[in-house]
Amino acid sequence: MADLLTEIEAQIVGAKATAAKQNVGVICEIGDGVARIEGLSEAMLNEMIDLGHGITGLALNLDETEVGVVILGDYTQLEEGDEVRATGNLLQVPVGKGLLGRVVNTLGEPLDGKGRVQSDVAYPVEKLAPGIIRRRPVTQPVQTGIMPIDAMIPIGRGQRELIIGDRSTGKTTICIDTIINQARLNQAAEVAGDKEFRPLYSIYVAIGQKQSSIARLITVLEEAGAMPYTIIVASPASDSATNQYLAPFAGAAIGEWFMDNGMDALIIFDDLSKHAVAYRQVSLVLKRPSGREAYPGDVFYLHSRLLERAARVGEQYGNGSLTALPIIETQEGDVSAYIPTNVISITDGQIYLETDLFYQGVRPAISVGLSVSRVGSAAQLKAMKQVSGQLKGDLAQFRELAAFAQFGSELDAKTRAQIDRGKRIVELFKQKQYSPIPVEVQVAVLWAVQNGYVDDVPVERIKDFQARLTEFLTLRKAELLQKIAQEKVLSDALVAELKTVIDSFKQTWK
Amino acid sequence: MKTIRQVKREAKHLFLLCLVNGSVDEGRVRQVVASVLRIKRRGYLALATQFERLVKLERLRHTATVESAAPLPSDLRANVEASLVRLYGPDMSTSFAESPPLIGGMRIRVGSDIYDGSVKAGLAALEKSF
């Protein structure tokens, strides 16, 4: 006991009182989730401000004598005249594998009732995108499991591919299918003990969506067993505009951790139209000058700095990647509106979904003519490239000829054959939601199409043919599919085997 | 109608006219206020208010308020004043006040900077750490 007291006394003698300098200010105006603060002479842009009562703010406007702070929390507790403090920290979110399977808000706080998020690392929400030196070309594929995308608009790891279309055209469904397919591939590799396989983790950022829609999405992912590989950052419509504005940046920070640590991640921003609206609201209450459609002048920079964070980095910089699938909702199919044109010009391609196609029963309602992938073809599997080379051209020609054929004019045999082939491809590309197709099955089916095996199949029986062929291949010729998946290229021997297998199937199919 | 932006710009201009060697000249400030109120141009009240705000903020930047739980001995006061002059420049005016809720130690405020070495602040930090 005497030793302990001596020890304490020695520590007291050695202790030196220090008073750290703090930068403070006073709230002079508050409303609409924004406070104007006098003082805070040393506040930094995007610095977290301690507003008292456990509430945090974010310094967004630095004027000569005032600071405009957006409040991340319940601002009704704050009053004019309250003293606030600069924290010296930028806004950060917890990152790491501990977030997998969790639903969190913009600040990384759990929303799923599963307790504290297991993470001891935090990343700043706003971060500079990797520069030219750190990047390397996109060469690895992201298998979405959606046949028209994997065949015609391939996406690579590190790419930014926009999904654009009117409301209720299946934009979110494409993303959910992609997440489910990644989970399926990750699980299969884990079971097989494949050390070479690079798992792709998914981050879904819900911005300004209905809580019921988010809940439904979580249920779908849970039922498909995809949640263990997925993180959901939710900022629903009931959240403040500030939280909605920050949510995609928080999601990007979470994704960057995977990229920096040699892993691959996929991030979905659903959707950036609502994000732009939230940012417009924040800017207007901050009294920033407004421009076209009342959006602030930096709305392009808002999305470009966000999407530039998606990249594939070199081996000495982590050897990871972050693939971004931003979603934009158009009004009446108008792709030339302000925000859609901005995001189209930022991304490396777009998948355009058409309402007309959707109601014609072509689902996913991908418009082949307007959809493009600018860098993904370098990442496409060679086997897929071999079987899908002419598909996009064939389909585009089909659409043109089909429109012409509507006039009822007589058609020559060649044109009729092209139209027939097109009808069959369209039918083949129809796919049920939440049921992604493995790439080896896609390759085998497309090979059959390219080699005329479906030319004599009636259009209305194409889906039945495809289902039976898939069943035949999966149950009876699994080793052939395995060879395609492993070799990733259709060698002469594989082609010969494929021919024999499909010939034998064709004999039994009625 | 004058916009807030215009008023701020004009007030800033008038304020800069009142600076002599980087410090506010009281004579010039009085002269500016008298002129604004005499001429009564459109929006003169908003202009005078904004000007007053700038002068107030400038004054706060050069005013130190030292609070302590008990009265400070004169040598310590002189020491504090000298330190503040060294940190913030020669035209500092320092006022001392007693504040028993601090329990012990000292709290100094200069403009928007605070140096809080009081027992109260220490206890608050300890509470936050739990």
What 3 state SS string does A91-104 have? CEEEECHHHCCCEE
DSSP-based three-state secondary structure for A21: strand
**What pLDDT does residue A5 have?**
84
Chain A closest-CA separation from residue B126 CA (Å)? 14
B115:A39 CB<8 A: no
**What pLDDT does residue A121 have?**
95
Quote the Cα angle for A143-A146-A147, to 5°. Answer: 100
CB-defined contacts A:B, below 8 A: 38
Give the chain B residue nearest A16 (alpha carbons).
Answer: B117
Give the chain B residue nearest A84 (alpha carbons).
Answer: B112
**What pLDDT does residue A16 have?**
64
Q: Say if pTM beats, i.e. exceeds, 0.80.
A: yes
Quote the Cα angle for A286-A287-A289, to 5°. Answer: 125
A41:B106 CB<8 A: no
Q: Which of B105, B106, B113 sits opposite A23 (nearest CB)?
A: B113
Q: Which of B54, B105, B112 sits opposite A41 (nearest CB)?
A: B112
- In eight-state DSSP terms, residue A315 is G
What positions of A carry a catalytic annotation? 374
A39:B112 CB<8 A: yes
Burial of residue A393, with CB atoms counted within 10 A of its CB: 0-12 exposed, 13-18 middle, 19 or more buried: exposed
Interface probe with B: pick from A37, A38, A83, A87, most Cβ of B within 10 Å: A38
B114:A38 CB<8 A: no
Chain B closest-CA separation from residue A94 CA (Å)? 19
Q: Which of A19, A39, A42 sits opposite B116 (nearest CB)?
A: A19
* Residues of chain A in Cβ contact (below 8 Å) with chain B: 17-25, 38-42, 64-65
**What pLDDT does residue A355 have?**
95
**What pLDDT does residue A413 have?**
83
Distance CA A391, CA A374 (A): 17
Contact partners, residue A267, CB within 8 Å, separation at least 6? A202, A203, A204, A205, A251, A252, A255, A310, A322, A323, A324, A325
B114:A17 CB<8 A: no
pLDDT digit string (tens) for chain A, length 510 residues:
668 888 888 777 766 666 778 899 999 988 878 899 998 989 999 999 999 888 899 999 998 889 999 998 888 889 999 999 999 999 999 999 999 999 999 999 999 999 999 999 999 999 999 999 999 999 999 999 999 999 999 999 999 999 999 999 999 999 999 999 999 999 999 999 988 899 999 999 999 999 999 999 999 999 999 999 999 999 999 998 999 999 999 999 999 999 999 999 999 999 999 999 999 999 998 889 999 999 999 999 999 999 999 999 999 998 999 999 999 999 999 999 999 999 999 999 999 999 999 999 999 999 988 899 998 889 999 999 999 888 888 888 888 888 777 776 677 888 888 888 899 999 999 999 999 999 999 999 999 998 989 989 999 999 999 999 999 999 999 999 999 999 999 999 999 999 999 999 999 887
Residues comprising chain A, all counted: 510
B113:A21 CB<8 A: yes
Residues B12-63: tens digit of each pLDDT: 999 999 998 888 899 999 999 999 999 988 889 999 999 999 999 888 888 9
Chain A closest-CA separation from residue B106 CA (Å)? 9
Instruction: Extract long-range pairs of A286-293: CB within 8 Å, 24+ residues apart.
Output: A286/A34, A286/A60, A286/A61, A286/A68, A286/A70, A287/A68, A288/A61, A292/A338, A293/A338
A24:B117 CB<8 A: no
Chain B closest-CA separation from residue A65 CA (Å)? 8
* Residues of chain B in Cβ contact (below 8 Å) with chain A: 12, 53-54, 57, 105-106, 108-109, 111-117
Q: Which of B12, B108, B117 sits opposite A17 (nearest CB)?
A: B117
- Backbone phi and psi for residue A194, each to the nearest 5 degrees, phi listed first: -75, 110
Query: Is A425:A394 a contact under the CB 8 Å cutoff?
Result: yes
Judging contacts by C-beta atoms under 8 Å, the chain B residues touching residue A12 are none
Q: Which of A22, A42, A64 sits opposite B116 (nearest CB)?
A: A22
Chain B closest-CA separation from residue A104 CA (Å)? 24
A23:B112 CB<8 A: yes
Judging contacts by C-beta atoms under 8 Å, the chain B residues touching residue A18 are 117
Give the chain A residue nearest B9 (alpha carbons).
Answer: A64
Query: Is B37:B48 a contact under the CB 8 Å cutoff?
Result: yes
Distance CA A450, CA A473 (A): 17
**What pLDDT does residue A2 have?**
67
A25:B112 CB<8 A: yes
B53:A39 CB<8 A: no
B54:A65 CB<8 A: yes
ipTM of the complex: 0.77
Chain A closest-CA separation from residue B121 CA (Å)? 10
Distance CA A472, CA A470 (A): 5
Judging contacts by C-beta atoms under 8 Å, the chain B residues touching residue A41 are 111-113
